[in-house]
């Protein structure tokens, strides 16, 4: 009987994570937002022929940015809004979660989005690197490029 109760508890707990997995669009947008933040913090690396050389133009820097990205996603968790919608939010202090937030569940969500990030980058890394190197994405365009064009996680209804 105890085994059945434990199994049922595990199934119910995993159901919460499964519903988070189902909204790949919001997870993708959270990852794209983190890329936007990193790019906004980029500093020029120098000048050549009177032109400022931006770090994002260097393939090695783009690789470094993407390689550290999924670790940064461990600071995110899924939060249920008053409207019933769920969205990924950055946790600034794991020791001071909002009232009613379960730390164990929040950390499980953070592990989920981090592993989702790894799978997402595995699928899109080459194309994303090329877009970032070419400077073909302006501020605010990474969401569309990553989540609609490259992965189709956020397809718009036509």
Confidence of residue 8 (pLDDT cuts 50, 70, 90): very low
Does some domain include residue 1? no
32 in a structural domain: yes
SS3 at position 53: strand
Any domain includes 108 = yes
122 in Cβ contact with 128 (< 8 Å): no
pLDDT at 130: 85
Number of domains in the chain: 1
Please indicate, yes or no, if residue 8 is contained in any of the structural domains: no
- Token pair recorded at residue 92: 């600034």
Tens digit of each residue's pLDDT (9 = 90 or more) over 9-68: 333 444 444 444 457 898 999 999 999 888 887 765 655 566 665 554 567 777 888 888
Long-range contact pairs involving 45-53 (C-beta distance under 8 Å, separation at least 24): none
Which bin fits 75, alpha (ψ -120 to 50), beta or left (φ > 0)?
A: alpha
Whether 9 maps to a domain, the answer reads no
Instruction: With respect to residue 145, please indicate whether it lies within any of the assigned structural domains.
Output: yes
pLDDT computed for residue 18 by the predictor: 42
> Of the candidates 91, 87, 109, 103, which has an alpha carbon nearest to the alpha carbon of residue 16?
109
Domain range for 107 is 15-150
């Amino acid at each position: 009987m105890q085994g059945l109760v434990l199994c049922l508890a595990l199934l119910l707990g995993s159901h919460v994570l499964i519903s988070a997995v189902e909204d790949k669009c919001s997870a993708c947008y959270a990852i794209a937002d983190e890329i936007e933040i990193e790019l906004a913090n980029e500093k020029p690396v120098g000048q050549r022929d009177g032109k400022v050389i931006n770090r994002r133009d260097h393939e090695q820097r783009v690789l470094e940015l993407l390689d550290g990205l999924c670790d940064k996603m461990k600071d995110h968790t899924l939060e249920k809004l008053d409207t019933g919608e769920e969205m990924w939010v950055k946790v600034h202090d794991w020791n001071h979660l909002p009232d009613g937030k379960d730390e164990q569940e929040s950390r499980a969500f953070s592990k989920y989005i981090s592993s989702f990030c790894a799978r997402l980058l595995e699928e899109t890394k080459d194309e994303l690197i090329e877009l970032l190197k070419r400077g073909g994405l302006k501020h605010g365009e990474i969401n569309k490029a990553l989540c609609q064009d490259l992965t189709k996680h956020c397809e718009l209804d036509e």
